């Protein structure tokens, strides 16, 4: 039986309108476009680093 991977549920809770370009690009790279939209990503160092960079814009939950 395969080992189940850990996942993160990432939700955009604030607008990126007044954010710097790097934060806008990070949010887009996570797959988020609209406020309230959620995506599920693999729980790894790259995803956690991206979430940390825009932690003021997103809500992260472990699934």
- The domain spans of the chain are 7-62
Q: What angle do CA 24, 26, 31 make, to 5 degrees?
A: 100
pLDDT at 2 over 70: no
Q: What is the pLDDT of residues 31-57, one digit of tens each?
A: 999 999 999 999 999 999 999 999 999
Yes or no: say if 54 and 13 are a contact pair by the CB < 8 Å rule: no
Residues 21 and 6: their CA atoms lie apart, in Å, by 29
Q: For the packed helices 45-53 and 21-29, what is the interaxial angle rounded to 10 degrees?
A: 140
Query: Domain 7-62's class?
Result: alpha beta
Cβ count within 10 A of residue 12: 21
Output the average pLDDT for the chain: 95
């Amino acid at each position: 039986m395969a080992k189940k991977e850990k996942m993160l549920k990432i939700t955009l809770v604030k607008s990126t309108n007044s954010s710097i370009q790097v934060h806008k690009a990070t949010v887009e790279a996570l797959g988020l476009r609209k406020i309230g939209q959620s995506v599920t990503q693999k729980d790894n160092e790259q995803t956690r680093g991206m979430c940390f960079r825009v932690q003021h814009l997103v809500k992260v939950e472990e699934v």
